[in-house]
Amino acid sequence: MDDQPLITPEVEEPPPEEVSSPTPRDRIRALVEVVICSGFPTQLLIVLVLSLLGWMPTDGNTTLSLAYVVTLSLVDAALLLGLIWLFLTLQDERPGELLLGGRPVSREVTLGILLVPVALLLTAISFALILQFAPTLRNVPENPLEALMTSPMAIAWFAVVAVVAGGIREEVQRAFILHRFEQRLGGAVVGLVVFSVAFGLGHLVQGRDAAIVTGVLGAFWGVVYLSRRSVVAPMVCHALFNLSEIGIAWLGGGAGPPG
């Protein structure tokens, strides 16, 4: 019997799965979600509700009310976190995958702690550069929030706000907005620039210089998130940075505003 060469049949590989481009409807929906979760609409809504209840942001003069600031910050944090969870689940996305990625949490916590000195140094350098080259940007002699730190109880409330409304809420918010930009609104880099500017503008009450420095810090934490795909490290860094700034302000060191 003649030997016949074995012919290995060619196996056709399935074509690579194509990622569909976002439709105009997808982009509009993403844009609406980003605007809602930017922090401005929710805070305006809460301010409106508080005003209807007769609660004003000042204590009868030009001094901010500590209770008002704490209430606004914590209610806004709860509302935003709920909205982000809702928007993700409505599109069958898992919040845990977006926020935690696949990295060990303990390692990310350690990284967040190690990044705190970097954030503090970045803040000091940014303020120094502004003071050197654009001193007119310092238009608020005293941070109005620092003026509220008059007692240990006030410090404790600021610490709660620093962790919940700063570290947790703002980093979840940043991750969600960067995610939506990356999906449907021009890419993560565009989202990083846009939200860093918006993040800074949200702190204008503390001064133009503080707004710029806060925007720089927002970009820093955004880069950390995009490089790790986990909010744990930026969240820990942000919360500890805010607590450090509160401690410095309480000791009279004239630190920049919490982020």
Q: What is the pLDDT of residue 56?
A: 87
Instruction: Quickly list DSSP for the chain.
Output: --------PPPPPPPPPPPPPPPHHHHHHHHHHHHHTTSHHHHHHHHHHHHHTT--SBSSSSSBPHHHHHHHHHHHHHHHHHHHHHHHHHTT--HHHHHHTTS-HHHHHHHHHHHHHHHHHHHHHHHHHHHHH-GGG---SS-TTGGG--SHHHHHHHHHHIIIIIIIHHHHHHHHHHHHHHHHSS-HHHHHHHHHHHHHHTTGGG-HHHHHHHHHHHHHHHHHHHHHS-SHHHHHHHHHHHHHHHHHHHTT--PPPP-
Q: Where are the domains of the chain?
A: 25-250
Tokens representing 67 are: 């209770």
pTM of the predicted structure, to 2 decimals: 0.86
Q: How does the average pLDDT of the chain come out, rounded?
A: 87
Q: pLDDT (tens digit, 9 = 90+) per residue, 190-243? A: 999 999 999 888 888 888 999 999 999 999 999 999 999 999 999 999 999 999
Higher per-residue confidence, 32 vs 258: 32
